[in-house]
Copies of this chain bind each other. A is one copy, B any other.
Amino acid sequence: MATGRTHRPATRSRGIPEATVARLPLYLRALTALSERSVPTVSSEELAAAAGVNSAKLRKDFSYLGSYGTRGVGYDVEYLVYQISRELGLTQDWPVVIVGIGNLGAALANYGGFASRGFRVAALIDADPAMAGKPVAGIAVQHTDELEQIIQDNGVSIGVIATPAGAAQQVCDRLVAAGVTSILNFAPTVLTVPDGVDVRKVDLSIELQILAFHEQRKAGEESGQGGSEAAEDLEGAPAPSARAAAATTDRKGPDGDVPAVMPA
């Protein structure tokens, strides 16, 4: 997951497994591409290849939605696009607000993938008074003070948080209090929300760290010394007893993993 879900007890909602739901957008994207090329039908094998998954997995995923295929032929592209869109709730309009209009927030506001999927940016919100009124992606930025009003007026139920880590929980609380029940969080913090509110997290630095892990493993394996890591421990690492003696990580002040978004 770029990104993972946030401790939901694997609610198999309506019988569709979480893992399947997470793949539906992938299928939808591949199907949309096929639809644009006017391909009428597609086999599970072809579609699976286009989506980068196993064909058996794809068929099982689709089986949760219903029997939408034709044996010996494959799946009707247009029909499947509609069914998946409907299942994901993309046939309706979802107004979203983006809070924190820094570099990342602006990039999100400009992101074309939202509008083309039924998501409409209802408002851009920032705590910086100097930002208020300034147009970003053709939309005037509004001040945080108006957050509650905006949520209610537009019936917003999905909020995107692109603020610095320090402000995220506070913004989150206000969003939830105003009626938002789904949050996409780009700030590097664990958000605490009441039951019934969904949070998904996208963390850029975490993804890189996972890559670094595998990269290190590759480098370590190819140099042949893939055995003893106990020896490595004893020489390079500070002993647990000598705590706080050597600050092994060269910390750079209280950065606290702040994203490069404009603060308040």
Residues of chain A having any CB pair with chain B under 8 Å: 1-7, 13-14, 21-22, 24-26, 28-30, 32-33, 35-36, 38, 40-41, 50-54, 66, 68, 70, 76-79, 81-83, 85-92, 94, 96, 102-104, 106-119, 137, 157-158, 160, 181-184, 188, 190, 196, 198, 200-219, 226, 233, 236-240, 243-249, 251-252, 254-261
Contact = CB atoms under 8 A, between A and B. Distances in A.
A78 B68 CA distance: 55
B1 A209 contact: no
Contacts of A215: 89, 94, 157-158, 181-182, 198
A76 to B, nearest CB: 5
19 contacts: A1-B1, A1-B3, A2-B203, A3-B4, A4-B22, A7-B53, A25-B210, A28-B209, A51-B190, A79-B243, A82-B238, A103-B103, A103-B107, A103-B111, A104-B107, A182-B214, A198-B214, A200-B207, A202-B207
A238 to B, nearest CB: 6
Contacts of A255: 112, 116
Given A81-B249, A82-B238, A13 B214 contact: yes
Contacts of A82: 237-238, 248-249
Greatest chain B CB density within 10 A among A40, A196, A240 is at: A240
The 6 closest A-B pairs by CB, nearest first: A1-B1, A2-B3, A89-B216, A110-B260, A113-B205, A2-B202
Given A1-B1, A2-B200, A202-B202, A78 B244 contact: yes
Given A112-B257, A236-B86, A260-B107, A208 B158 contact: yes
Contact of A3 (B14, B54, B207): B207
Contact of A4 (B2, B7, B28): B2
A260 B138 CA distance: 13
B112 A260 contact: yes
A167 B245 CA distance: 49
A145 to B, nearest CB: 25
